[in-house]
């Protein structure tokens, strides 16, 4: 019995696509499923273990926190991501904690990830214009192949990233919607809503796919009142699916922070422990309408920072746009020259209607996704839908045209995959060891301490390896925490509870003096700790050694070294005792207040660039800085100047006037984004904006 044959019976009419999936006629699916899984396993093995920064930053911690109550001992342990719904990461944490080798864990994940290819096959079969089994297999296999050559999909196979896992749930929902369009049945619509609601609860970026599902339902072959009724049922099941999956975690968030979706939608719930400024990551969102129209073609270029941080060239969306344009022009020409007869209109078969519904849903989804994130990692399920639409359209053309275009697509993408694609964020060779090989000093295993972690990379993955009862707070990173307000009160409460067992944790093997001009510097660490009345005790510093990591794990925009070039596999985390600091810091406090006035005025002069506004100002080196997560900008006041820089794209530093001028009065700026890069220019008083 194939996996498809073991699916639950939804009591659907015979002869429909879903009944074919569950019947004996589906025996040919089993070899396809096996081939898809084998392909995923081979791909995973060849690419090596993936160690993206998110794995260390919050993936392992999320699974750990889902199974262990961390609310009373941790606070922003992995930054704002600490409080995202963690249940999707429980399987990864469970596999790691079971003591399996990294290859075994990654292989298990790859097997699970291969299901997205199974569903791609089923979706292609559901829009096949013929009942011939060979044609089903041909269309399905071509769609699977076109979905698989997506660089984003290949990057994530076998990794801890949840985009494929939740994408499977989304694609299953869309498969049910497509089948409902072919043969309307309320059970399919309701089950699709439950699946898409659950996927949105597990990963909020999937909400755009749930919303776009309404566009698919608009193509139901029913009267308008019936379609409205199905749409209302779909909306209700969406809410129910979301509530079932989100409720347990949301209840804890609401009790702790007063926001059931914390830290998301805090502009609505207004928890005092997080910014109430709107959050929207602009990294890949087109700035102009022309830029949005060009995006499918821009994605062909094998460069970084187009639709993902890595180089991931993908020509399929450009092919789809060109194909649709040609088919539309041909249809328009034929309609003008030869108006359609009644028999021609009758050729709109259930499969053709399902394909049209998928196309409409995909178009709506593309617009919503591009305006909401533009990150292709969040578009993975729709990339499979796009592959199905392309193949289904081609198989409605003449064989020579069809196979010629497919040959060009696969040939072009093969060259891109071989020469222009980065397959892993931080690839690590298989060595037979566990996913994490960590050497923790005995005193840290038996003595529960409160760790104040520093850096955008929170290293919260260390939590399961510390003493039971140890706590983590990422005080300086992607979202810096201070000693004032509700957050400050919570941190102060934790510090008092753990005193004198307080430690600071950061990457590095030792702390350097400022004269060494090397990071990490002791003065930077003390500057952070001073916010909480603490300083480093250099007499008690120990190292945690982590094996199997590439050096300085972070968002890597450079190409990985060749496979035959050995990677350094040891990373040190330094932890030192933190003790009370009674020194006078009035000079620094005055400098901070002056810098805050300048940075506040800078934000008001150009709110489109510097957002979210009014975040904590940190003292780093000889400057005062703020990090703006929406736009990836870091602005600072130092050496008499006001400057900013895009830290992800590593753009050049932009100078926006002297500090003394900003102190006297706000300056006027002409600012914005051009060709994907931010700019700002100080205007003279006589100039207009």
Least confident of 41-45, 66-70, 159-163, 512-516: 512-516
The predicted model gives 51-61 an average pLDDT of: 92
**Residues 6 or more apart whose Cβ sits within 8 Å of residue 549:** 51, 56, 426, 428, 569, 570, 571
129 falls within a domain: yes
Tokens at 286, concatenated: 């087109």
Q: What percent of the chain has pLDDT over 90?
A: 73
Q: Are 208 and 365 in contact (CB under 8 A)?
A: yes
Q: What is the mean pLDDT of residues 109-137?
A: 92
Structural domain range at position 645: 587-683
614 and 468 in a single domain? The answer is no
Based on the fold, state whether residues 254 and 283 are members of the same structural domain.
Answer: yes
Based on the number of CB atoms within 10 Å of its own CB, is 128 exposed (0-12), middle (13-18) or buried (19 or more)? buried
Residue 566 reports pLDDT greater than 50: no
Q: pLDDT tens digits, residue range 485-534?
A: 999 999 999 999 999 999 999 999 999 988 887 888 999 999 999 999 99
In this structure, the answer to whether residues 546 and 602 fall within a common structural domain is no
For residues 189 and 256, state if they share a domain: yes
CA distance linking residue 657 with residue 2, whole number of Å: 68
Q: CB–CB of 46/154 below 8 Å?
A: no
Burial 149-181 (b: 16+ CB within 10 A, else e): bbbbbbbbbbbbbbbbbbbbbbbbbbbbbbbbb
Instruction: Provide the pLDDT for residue 551.
Output: 55
The fraction of the chain above a pLDDT of 70, given in percent, is: 91
60 within some domain: no
Residue 85 belongs to some domain of the structure: no
Are 609 and 641 in a shared domain?
Answer: yes
Both 349 and 477 in a single domain? no
Q: According to the model, what pLDDT value does residue 70 have?
A: 96
Residue 266 within any structural domain of the chain: yes
197 or 477: whose pLDDT is higher?
197
Number of Cβ within 10 Å of residue 556's Cβ equals 19
| Alpha-carbon distances of 48 from 40, 45, 157, 425, 483, rounded to whole Å | 12, 5, 10, 11, 43
Q: Is residue 307 part of a domain?
A: yes
The whole-number pLDDT of residue 550 equals 63
Q: Please provide the size of the chain in residues.
A: 689
Would you call the peptide bond into 335 cis, given omega within 30 degrees of 0 as the criterion?
no
pTM of the full structure? 0.90
| Residue 570: strand, helix, or coil | strand
DSSP E strand boundaries for 478-587: 502-507, 534-547, 570-580
Give a yes or no: residue 466 inside a domain: yes
Q: How confident is the model at residue 343 (pLDDT cuts 50, 70, 90)?
A: low
Residue 116 lies in a domain: yes
Own/partner pairs for 679-683, CB < 8 Å, 24+ apart? 679/654, 680/606, 680/609, 680/644, 680/654, 680/656, 681/656, 682/656, 682/657
Q: What is the mean pLDDT of the chain?
A: 89
320, two tokens = 């789809």
C-alpha torsion angle, residues 63, 67, 71, 74 (rounded to 10):
-50
* pLDDT score recorded for residue 3: 37
660 — pLDDT class (breaks 50, 70, 90): very high
Q: Is the pLDDT of residue 90 over 80?
A: yes
pLDDT, mean of residues 353-380:
96
Asked if 163 and 380 count as a contact pair (C-beta separation under 8 A), the reply is yes
CB proximity list for 132: less than 8 A, separation 6 or greater: none
For residue 82, name the pLDDT band (cuts at 50, 70, 90).
very high
Predicted confidence (pLDDT) per residue in 450-462, tens digit: 999 998 889 999 9
Q: Are residues 191 and 332 in the same domain?
A: yes
């Amino acid at each position: 019995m194939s996996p498809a044959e073991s699916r639950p019976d939804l009591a659907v009419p015979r002869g429909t696509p879903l009944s074919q999936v569950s019947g004996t006629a589906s025996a040919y699916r089993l070899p396809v499923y096996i081939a898809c899984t084998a392909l995923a396993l081979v791909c995973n093995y060849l690419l090596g273990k993936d160690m993206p920064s998110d794995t260390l930053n919050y993936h392992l911690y999320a699974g750990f926190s889902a199974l262990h109550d961390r609310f009373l001992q941790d606070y922003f342990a992995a930054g704002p991501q600490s409080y995202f719904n963690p249940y999707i990461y429980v399987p990864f944490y469970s596999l790691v904690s079971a003591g399996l080798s990294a290859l075994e864990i990654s292989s298990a994940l790859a097997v699970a990830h291969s299901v997205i290819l199974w569903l791609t096959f089923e979706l292609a079969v559901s829009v096949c214009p013929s009942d011939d089994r060979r044609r089903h297999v041909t269309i399905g296999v071509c769609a699977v192949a076109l979905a698989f050559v997506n660089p984003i999909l290949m990057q994530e196979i076998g990794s801890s990233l949840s985009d494929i896992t939740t994408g499977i749930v989304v694609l299953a929902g869309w498969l049910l919607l497509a089948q409902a369009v072919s043969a309307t049945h309320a059970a399919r619509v309701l089950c699709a809503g439950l699946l898409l609601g659950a996927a949105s609860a597990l990963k909020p970026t999937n909400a755009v796919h749930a919303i776009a599902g309404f566009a698919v339902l608009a193509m139901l072959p029913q009267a308008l009142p019936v379609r409205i009724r199905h749409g209302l049922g779909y909306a209700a099941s969406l809410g129910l699916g979301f509530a079932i999956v989100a409720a347990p975690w949301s209840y804890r968030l609401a009790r702790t922070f007063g926001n059931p979706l914390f830290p998301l939608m805090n502009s609505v719930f207004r928890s005092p422990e997080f910014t109430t400024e709107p959050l929207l990551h602009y990294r890949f969102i087109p700035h102009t309408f022309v830029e949005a129209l060009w995006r499918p073609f821009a994605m062909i270029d094998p460069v970084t920072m187009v639709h993902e941080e890595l180089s991931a060239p993908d020509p399929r969306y450009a092919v789809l746009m060109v194909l649709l344009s040609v088919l539309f022009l041909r249809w328009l020409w034929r309609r003008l020259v030869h108006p359609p007869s009644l028999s021609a209109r009758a050729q709109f078969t259930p499969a053709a209607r399902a394909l049209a519904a998928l196309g409409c849903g995909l178009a709506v989804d593309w617009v919503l996704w591009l305006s909401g994130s533009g990150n292709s990692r969040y578009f993975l399920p729709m990339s499979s839908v796009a592959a199905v639409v392309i193949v289904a359209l081609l198989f409605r053309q003449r064989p020579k045209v069809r196979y010629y275009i497919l040959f060009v697509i696969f040939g072009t993408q093969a060259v891109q995959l071989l020469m222009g694609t980065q397959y892993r964020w931080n690839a690590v060779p298989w060595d037979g060891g566990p996913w994490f090989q960590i050497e923790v000093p005995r005193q840290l295993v038996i003595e529960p301490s409160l760790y104040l972690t520093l850096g955008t990379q929170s290293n919260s993955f260390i939590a399961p390896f510390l003493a039971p009862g140890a706590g983590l707070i990422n005080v300086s990173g992607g979202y810096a925490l201070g000693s004032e307000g509700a957050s400050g009160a919570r941190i102060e409460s934790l510090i008092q509870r753990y005193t004198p067992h307080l430690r600071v944790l950061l990457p590095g093997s030792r702390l350097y003096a400022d004269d060494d001009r090397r990071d990490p510097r002791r003065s930077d660490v003390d500057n952070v700790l001073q916010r909480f009345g603490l300083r480093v005790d250099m007499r008690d510093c120990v190292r945690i050694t982590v094996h199997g990591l590439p050096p300085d794990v972070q968002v890597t925009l450079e190409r990985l070294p060749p496979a035959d070039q050995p990677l350094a596999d040891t990373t040190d985390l330094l932890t030192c005792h933190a003790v009370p600091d009674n020194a006078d810091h009035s000079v620094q406090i005055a400098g901070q207040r002056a810098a805050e006035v300048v940075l506040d005025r800078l934000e008001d002069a150009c709110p489109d660039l510097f957002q979210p506004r009014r975040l904590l100002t940190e003292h780093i080196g000889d400057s005062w800085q703020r990090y703006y997560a929406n736009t990836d900008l870091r602005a600072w006041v130092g050496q008499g100047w006001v400057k900013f820089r895009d830290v992800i794209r590593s753009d050049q530093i932009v100078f926006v006037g002297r500090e003394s001028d900003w102190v006297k009065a706000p300056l006027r700026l002409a600012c914005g984004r051009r060709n994907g890069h931010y700019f700002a220019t100080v205007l003279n008083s006589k100039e207009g904006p």
